[in-house]
Amino acid sequence: MTLESFINEAISPWMLEDGPDKDIVMSSRVRLARNFADKLYPTSGNKEALEEVLQFIKKNYIKEEDTEQDSLTFIPMKQLNMIEKLVLVEKHLISPHLIKHSDYAAVLLSEQEQTSIMVNEEDHLRIQVYYPGLQLKKALEEAYYLDDWLEEEADYAFDETKGYLTSCPTNIGTGMRASIMLHLPALVLTKQINRLIPAINQLGLVVRGIYGEGSEARGNIFQISNQITLGKSEEDIVEDLESIVNQLVEHERMARQYIYEQSEISLEDRVFRSYGTLKNSRIIDSKEAATCISNLRLGIDLGIIENISENILNELMVLTQPGFLQHYANKALRSDERDIRRASIIRERLNLKK
């Protein structure tokens, strides 16, 4: 496989599209959790029920001929090997949980990889929609459309006062988790982020690192999402989240400007050192890579470095993950082998120019 085609595989097509505030907001995502009323939940561990749901989806929602909905491809987890599954997780198209229970799990994936519907995760259905930049409302609209389409064939588990009955009490009500991924290098550099995170938490929102629950903020990438799903409408949740993110974006911009004006030379030094490390290292672990890639992207955003695509952050973040490295090598790799492979793939990518 050539590096170009491999990069194309790492980057979901929707990521290349333009979006508002794309220099700071990497993506907006809406996820809806839904269950069918008359079937036991995946959490019950009942195999017949799981199989039934899987067959039901296949029968009712997958059309053989080309129709409007045909862009969704049905992929049973059983058909994939471990590395292929890992790749889907690293592209955020499926959750790690789906892999753990892969005997009866599947995903419906759109061509642009903007939409994915997980089947038999913790809930029967997890509808997921991504948009580039800050576009949560659009993502919500698209998720609604899919929600209505899925509901046409079967009744959802829904209660007038409790809302959508999810398997976990933390999702009940709207069943919606809206989240936004942000690159905030200047807020980290100026240590403002330490003050901001507790304030955001107090507003019923959660801030965490890029790869979901429990992961640290690698490469200055943060994910902000709503905590509460009951008692607030979807629209209100989305609006609150967007208004917080707008403020964060503004603070990040101010911090970037401030650093640039106050200490241009040390900022340039930081950016070019990272660039040098990426261009020349022969062994690099994922943490160091993430830090350097973040600095490089900041340099591109501020015009310090030219002739490199601003998509480099999105691209390299995915390309340098363990699953992708092994996918590219076409074999399982130990962690020291991965560090070597990671360094070489980054060097190759930076030599591609553009």
Partner 1 sequence: MECQECHERKATLHFKHIINGQETKVSLCEVCAKKKGYLTYPEEGFSLNDLLSGLFQKDGIPLNAAGTANSNQPKQPQELKCSSCGRTFSEFKKAGKFGCANCYASFDSKVEPILRRVHAGNTKHTGRIPKRAGKYIQQKQLISSHKEELKQLIEDEEFEKAAVLRDKIRELEKANHQDKEAGDNT
Helix (H, G, I), strand (E, B) or coil at 182: strand
What amino acid is encoded at 97 in this protein? H
What amino acid is encoded at 148 in this protein? D
Q: How far is the CB of 333 from partner 1 (least distance, A)?
A: 21
Report the residue from 160, 195, 306, 334 that binds partner 1 according to the rule CB under 8 A.
160
What amino acid is encoded at 336 in this protein? D
Per rule CB under 8 A, is residue 41 in the interface with partner 1? yes
Residues 125/150, Cβ–Cβ less than 8 Å? yes
Nearer to partner 1 (CB atom), residue 39 or residue 349: 39
Report the residue from 6, 61, 158, 260 that binds partner 1 according to the rule CB under 8 A.
158
SS3 letters for 279-313? HHCCCCCHHHHHHHHHHHHHHHHCCCCCCCCCCHH
Residues 313/294, Cβ–Cβ less than 8 Å? yes
Is 92 labeled as ligand-binding? Answer: yes
Per rule CB under 8 A, is residue 216 in the interface with partner 1? no
Question: In angstroms, rounded to a whole number, what is the distance separating the alpha carbons of residues 38 and 25?
Answer: 40
Question: In angstroms, rounded to a whole number, what is the distance separating the alpha carbons of residues 281 and 167?
Answer: 47
Is 101 labeled as ligand-binding? Answer: no
Report the residue from 174, 220, 223, 326 that binds partner 1 according to the rule CB under 8 A.
174
Report the residue from 57, 77, 176, 245 that binds partner 1 according to the rule CB under 8 A.
176
Report the residue from 204, 280, 287, 336 that binds partner 1 according to the rule CB under 8 A.
204
Pairing mode of beta strands 25-34, 73-76: unpaired
Question: In angstroms, rounded to a whole number, what is the distance separating the alpha carbons of residues 50 and 44?
Answer: 9
Report the residue from 99, 228, 308, 340 that binds partner 1 according to the rule CB under 8 A.
228
Report the residue from 165, 210, 244, 300 that binds partner 1 according to the rule CB under 8 A.
165
Closest C-alpha among 91, 90, 88 to residue 107: 88
Per rule CB under 8 A, is residue 52 in the interface with partner 1? no
Near partner 1 by CB under 8 A, which window of 10-18, 62-70, 151-159, 285-293? 151-159
Q: How far is the CB of 169 from partner 1 (least distance, A)?
A: 6
User: Which residues lie near partner 1 (CB under 8 A)?
Assistant: 35, 37-41, 43-44, 46, 122, 144, 147-148, 151-152, 155-170, 172-174, 176, 204, 213, 228-234
Residue set of the binding site for ATP: 27-31, 92, 126, 177-181, 208-213
